[in-house]
Amino acid sequence: MKIEDMMKSPTGCPISHDAAAFDVFEEDYLVNPHEALRWSREKEPVFYNPRLGYWVVTRYDDVKSIFRDNILFSPSIALEKITQAPPEAEEILKSYGYAMNRTLVNEDEPAHMERRRVLMDSFNLDKLEKHQGDIRNLTRIYMDRFINKGKADLVNEMFWEIPLMVALHFLGVSDEDIEQLREFSVAHTVNTWGKPSESEQLAVAHSVGKFWQAAGKILENMSKDPDGSGWMHHTIRQHKLYPEVVTSSYLHSMMMAILVAAHETTSNASANAIRLLLSTEGAWQELCTNVNLIPNAVEECLRVEGSVVAWRRRATEQTKINGVKIPKDAKLLIVLASANHDERHFEDPDEVDLYRENTTDHLTFGYGSHQCMGKNIARMEMRIFIEEFTKRLPHLKLVEGQQYEYLPNTSFRGPSSLWVEWDPDKNPELYDPSILVKNHNFPIGSPLKDDLTRSLKVSNVYKECDDIVRLVLKSPSGHVLPKWSPGSHIDLIINGYNRKYSLCGQSESSNQYEIAILKEEEGRGASKYIYNNISIDDDVQIVGPKNHFRLDEQASSYILIAGGIGITPILAMADKLKSLGKKYKLHYAVRSIKGMTLVKRLHSDHIDNLSLYSKEDGDRMDLTEITGNITEGTQIYACGPERLLFELEKRSNSWPDNTLHFERFVSRGENLSPENEHSFDVELKDSDITVQVRDDQTLLEALLAIGIDAPHDCKEGICGTCEVGVLKGEIDHRDEVLTAAEKNSQDRIMTCCSRAKGGKLTLAL
Ligand code: FES
């Protein structure tokens, strides 16, 4: 069809040239799907593509909201052939008795969750632990085969087979026909998500038919062993117990689908990850020196170069996505690879940042009740691969000039070969065989955020006034540091202390961070230690930057209020507002003029908007006057001592909603005392799961224990990272983040500290 002939969508709306020209089977999309859809994320996030007959959705929030609602957006077409087969191919499939039906992937509710519930036990975190040893052993055995050769194709010599063997062990299936299974699984991918030519369709149909029969045979043999171990044996037993839920047709279809799903995505993701890490400046070296970073690096690789590119859904009703009218029965291609590069959700999304705080938000595993059940097995494998490679082959390099080829299909992506090389005479185990027995067994599940430390050097120390020092921190290797925005802070880890400090330099600066530290005589010791001991060239560890105190740049006017050392984030905000040409006033109060910090900068850059108050000189900040006339559209950002924030919080009750923004670095909350708590149930609407929160655990702990990737950071109720929407139930708020108005609205909860007042909460998770 010519582009000119396809310029209308099924709703009759004209479609753009880009939308009509987009081709999922073209090189651009296969090689770099997020780049191929950059135009769409920017200009046309939901568009109709006549070549495919699908509506394509490319932004993060839209993709996530489609995953969230699996009634309006049915997964039933997820395994439908995207390229129509000729009648001869259909005949061939029929001759093998091929009858692929519903599996967990394309099952509608309520059947999907009924099955998932009876089958998901083996995926619980405590049940997965035992597979670590198996994966480690296989990794060692395969690496031993090429470690002294100096060159290997990792896809064909390792990454294809290990995930397949792990999958077979997990399923309880014998691994004797491994080569044939590989051939079958490629055919299944091409058949379902690819664009085979007419003659290829026939060969593919034969392979798929044979695969179907092989899956049936495996199933038949397994059924003869009622006590066999592994997930498929468990599924067969559940079929006997609940034949209405786990039906025979389901068993056969699932057997075939799981043989592919359980390993191909991990094989591809592992190859993508190693390629990305070796081609990103400094990334491999960073992992070689900081093993703790590996779990987060795996998530960042899944985000930047995930192996699952897109899924499909069908609109069961006429609806709208991001304002675009979608007709009933419309088919949707939701492009996860594009959503994972959406700058509306991920700062600097094309950068590979191994420390990225929210990288686990990626959608490569899907989201909600259809999220990949095997995600924690895939994570485990990728973490062990990277750990063993960085330990045994830190000098690994990509072979230059190699071409990467990808199987033409809409949804799965990984190179067909990945050549790497190294100098075997420099293998560390030749000089230190003990490295072979040093294993870092990462906890199963999403990465622990406390492990995301970055090493920096103190490049300058300035004494700002009697009790404040300002530190300039740089990367020891001179690497560019991740960008930050006003309101950001870092966690500084030094001499056993871990404290949060706001960044106060120029946010545009890419090679250094600045923080100011007040020596607190009555504090917990960190500030005194730093003030007295820090010097140029000292090494420090940091976590971040993170921003839980983000400046809304759309407001019409701003009041910035700082007390004491609280000037640090406020100054960065003032800089930003000035550069944006916004109307702002900056009020800064201190005990004495001697205690003022960053004064030179304040005078040189903000003098026209600045009011200074020194208590010692009898010059007090009058909050009544400053905030006397707050109108809609004014935003107040404040940082300073607790009594200042408390006073503002009190006054904020009479201001328009969301006027006041502040950040606390210290929690006022108490530790959990089970004797004063009660247990409660939490229903997760998006995941269709109910979990009990015991009286001795937090809601966050209960979520993580069942494998939900619940975002979190401080775990003290002060950062806001763990916020989740509440759909039903009364909340016992215990955080320091939400304003009184937000708490009253009872529509969101900080899962790390807040609880249910009654017996149940329903969450949008
Ligand atoms: Fe920081 Fe909950 S994790 S508020």
Q: What is the CATH number of the domain that holds 518?
A: 2.40.30.10
Domain count of the chain?
4
Q: Which atom of ligand 1 is nearest the CA belonging to 713? A: 3
If one residue of 714, 733, 736, 755 were mutated to test the ligand 1 pocket, choosing by the most ligand atoms within 8 A of its CB, it would be: 714
Count Cα neighbours of 689 within 13 Å in the Cβ-side half-sphere: 21
537 plus 583 within the same structural domain: no
Cα separation, 11 vs 187, whole angstroms: 35
Q: What is the domain range of residue 145?
A: 87-266+395-424
For residue 390, is pLDDT > 90? yes
517 plus 465 within the same structural domain: yes
Cα distance from N-terminal residue to C-terminal residue, the chain: 43
Q: What is the CATH number of the domain that holds 644?
A: 3.40.50.80
The rounded mean pLDDT for the chain is 89
Last residue of a domain, one of 602, 632, 662: 662
Q: Which residue has the higher pLDDT, 3 or 746?
A: 746
For residue 1, is pLDDT > 70? no
Cα separation, 412 vs 310, whole angstroms: 7
pLDDT at position 176 is: 65
pLDDT tier at 645, thresholds 50, 70, 90:
very high
**Ligand 1 centroid distance, CA of 714 (Å):** 5
Question: Which DSSP string do the residues of 630-642 spell out, in sequence order?
Answer: --TTEEEEEES-H
If one residue of 358, 699, 713, 749 were mutated to test the ligand 1 pocket, choosing by the most ligand atoms within 8 A of its CB, it would be: 713
Residue 446 sits at the vertex; the CA angle it makes with 736 and 66, to the nearest 5 degrees, is 85
pLDDT at position 667 is: 65
In Å, how far from its chain's centre is CA 763?
19
pLDDT at position 177 is: 66
For residue 287, is pLDDT > 60? yes
**Ligand 1 centroid distance, CA of 574 (Å):** 26
In Å, how far from its chain's centre is CA 746?
26
**Ligand 1 centroid distance, CA of 664 (Å):** 12
If one residue of 450, 667, 715, 742 were mutated to test the ligand 1 pocket, choosing by the most ligand atoms within 8 A of its CB, it would be: 715
If one residue of 750, 755, 765 were mutated to test the ligand 1 pocket, choosing by the most ligand atoms within 8 A of its CB, it would be: 750
617 plus 721 within the same structural domain: no
**Ligand 1 centroid distance, CA of 752 (Å):** 5
pLDDT at position 4 is: 54
Rg (CA), the chain: 28
Q: Which atom of ligand 1 is nearest the CA belonging to 719? A: 1
Q: Is the dihedral of CA 728, 733, 735, 739 positive or negative?
A: positive
**Ligand 1 centroid distance, CA of 659 (Å):** 21
Helix %, strand %, coil % of the chain (to 5): 40, 20, 40
Taking CA atoms only, the protein residue closest to ligand 1 atom 4 is 717
Model confidence pLDDT, tens digit, residues 586-612: 999 998 887 777 888 899 999 999 999
Cα distances (Å, whole numbers) of residue 428 to 76, 278, 281, 288, 554: 51, 18, 22, 12, 54
* Whole-structure pTM value: 0.78
For residue 671, is pLDDT > 80? no
**Average of per-residue pLDDT across 124-140:** 90
Domain assignment present for residue 58? The answer is: no
Q: Which residue has the higher pLDDT, 180 or 710?
A: 710
Cα separation, 443 vs 380, whole angstroms: 9
**Ligand 1 centroid distance, CA of 697 (Å):** 15
CB within 6 Å of ligand 1 — which residues?
712-715, 717-722, 735, 737, 750, 752
**Alpha helix positions (H), 637-739:** 642-652, 699-705
Domain assignment present for residue 294? The answer is: no
**Average of per-residue pLDDT across 639-649:** 92
Q: Which atom of ligand 1 is nearest the CA belonging to 737? A: 4
Sheet with 46-49: strands ordered across: 46-49, 54-57, 331-335, 310-315, 73-74
Last residue of a domain, one of 498, 524, 546: 546
Domain assignment present for residue 303? The answer is: no
**Average of per-residue pLDDT across 286-302:** 94
**Average of per-residue pLDDT across 116-142:** 87
Model confidence pLDDT, tens digit, residues 216-255: 888 888 888 888 888 888 888 988 888 888 888 888 888 8
b/e sequence 112-125, b meaning 16+ C-beta within 10 Å: bbbbbebbbebbee
170 plus 230 within the same structural domain: yes
**Ligand 1 centroid distance, CA of 55 (Å):** 37
**Ligand 1 centroid distance, CA of 5 (Å):** 53
- Nearest CA to 270 out of 376, 363, 179, 162 is that of 162
Q: Which atom of ligand 1 is nearest the CA belonging to 714? A: 1
pLDDT at position 107 is: 83
If one residue of 357, 722, 738, 748 were mutated to test the ligand 1 pocket, choosing by the most ligand atoms within 8 A of its CB, it would be: 722
pLDDT at position 672 is: 79
Q: What is the CATH number of the domain that holds 145?
A: 1.10.630.10
Question: Which DSSP string do the residues of 151-204 spell out, in sequence order?
Answer: EEEHIIIIITHHHHHHHHHHHT---TTHHHHHHHHHHHHHHHHB---HHHHHHH
Q: Which atom of ligand 1 is nearest the CA belonging to 736? A: 4
130 plus 259 within the same structural domain: yes
678 plus 576 within the same structural domain: no
**What share of the chain has pLDDT > 90, as a percent?**
53
Last residue of a domain, one of 640, 662, 684: 662
pLDDT tier at 273, thresholds 50, 70, 90:
very high
pLDDT at position 674 is: 87
pLDDT tier at 535, thresholds 50, 70, 90:
very high
Residue partners of 194: CB distance under 8 A and separation at least 6: 82, 83, 407, 408, 409, 410
Q: Which atom of ligand 1 is nearest the CA belonging to 735? A: 4
617 plus 688 within the same structural domain: no
Q: What is the CATH number of the domain that holds 692?
A: 3.10.20.30
pLDDT at position 711 is: 81
**Ligand 1 centroid distance, CA of 692 (Å):** 20
pLDDT at position 109 is: 86
Q: What element of type H or E holds 731?
A: strand 731-732
401 plus 512 within the same structural domain: no
**Ligand 1 centroid distance, CA of 529 (Å):** 27
Model confidence pLDDT, tens digit, residues 303-352: 999 999 999 999 999 999 999 999 999 999 999 999 999 999 998 899 99
601 plus 730 within the same structural domain: no
Strands, E assignment, 506-609: 513-518, 539-546, 557-563, 583-590
**Ligand 1 centroid distance, CA of 712 (Å):** 5
pLDDT at position 425 is: 97
Count Cα neighbours of 458 within 13 Å in the Cβ-side half-sphere: 21
Q: What element of type H or E holds 397?
A: strand 397-398
**Ligand 1 centroid distance, CA of 684 (Å):** 19
- As given in the structure block, the two tokens for residue 282 are 């400094």
Cα torsion 674, 677, 681, 683 to 10°: value is -100
If one residue of 662, 703, 753 were mutated to test the ligand 1 pocket, choosing by the most ligand atoms within 8 A of its CB, it would be: 753
507 plus 586 within the same structural domain: no
